[in-house]
Amino acid sequence: MSYIQRFYMSSKIEYRTRFGMLTGALAGLLLLAACTDRGKEDKADATPEAVVRTVERRAEPLTTQQPGRLEAYRSADVRARAGGVVIERRYQEGQKVARGDVLFRIDPQPLSAALDAARGALAKAQAEHDSAKDKIERYRGLLEERAISAREDAESRAAEARTRADVLAARAEVRRAELNLGYTSVVSPIAGRVRRAEVTEGALVGLDSPTLLTRVEQIDPIYVNFSQPAAEVYAMTRDLRAGKLQNGNEAAAPKVHVTLPDGREYDLPGKLLFTDLAVDPGTDTIAMRALLPNPDGVLLPGAFVQVRMQGAVNPNIVRVPRESLLRTGNGAVVRVVDAQGKVHDTKVRAEAIEGRDWLVTDGLKGGEQVIVHNVVQFADGMQVKVKADGEPKVAAKPASAAAAATPDTSEAQAKLESDPARAGPASKAETL
CATH code of the domain containing 150? 1.10.287.470
CA distance 135 to 163: 12
Secondary structure tally for the chain: helices H, strands E:
7, 20
> pLDDT digit of tens for each residue in the chain (432 aa)?
555 555 455 555 555 555 556 666 666 666 665 555 555 555 556 789 999 999 998 887 777 889 999 999 999 999 999 999 999 999 999 999 999 999 999 999 999 999 999 999 999 999 999 988 888 777 776 766 666 777 777 788 888 899 999 999 999 999 999 999 999 999 999 999 999 999 999 999 988 889 999 999 999 999 999 999 998 888 888 888 887 777 766 556 788 999 999 989 999 999 999 888 899 999 999 999 999 999 999 999 999 999 998 877 888 889 999 999 998 888 899 999 999 999 999 999 887 777 788 888 888 988 999 999 999 999 999 999 999 887 554 444 443 333 443 344 444 444 434 443 443 433 333 332
The answer as to whether 87 is a domain residue is no
d(CA 302, CA 70): 5
User: What's the length of the chain?
Assistant: 432
The answer to whether 256 and 230 are in contact (CB under 8 A) is no
Can you list the alpha helix ranges (DSSP code H) found in 306-406?
401-405
Nearest residue to 188 via CA among 111, 104, 106, 108: 104
127 located within any domain: yes
The verdict on residue 120 lying in a domain is: yes
Residue 216, domain member (yes or no): no
Domain contains 171 = yes
Distances in Å between the Cα of 317 and the Cα atoms of 170, 254, 345 are 77, 19, 19
DSSP conformation class of 191: S
User: What is the rounded CA–CA span in Å between residue 311 and residue 354?
Assistant: 13
Residue 178 inside a domain? The answer is yes
Residue 155 lies in a domain: yes
What's the structural domain count of the chain?
1
- Helix 150-182 vs helix 109-144: angle between axes, to the nearest 10 degrees? 160
Instruction: Give the span between the Cα atoms of 147 and 141, in whole angstroms.
Output: 9
Residue 160 belongs to domain spanning:
108-183
**Inside any domain, residue 271:** no
51, 373 contact by CB (below 8 A)? yes
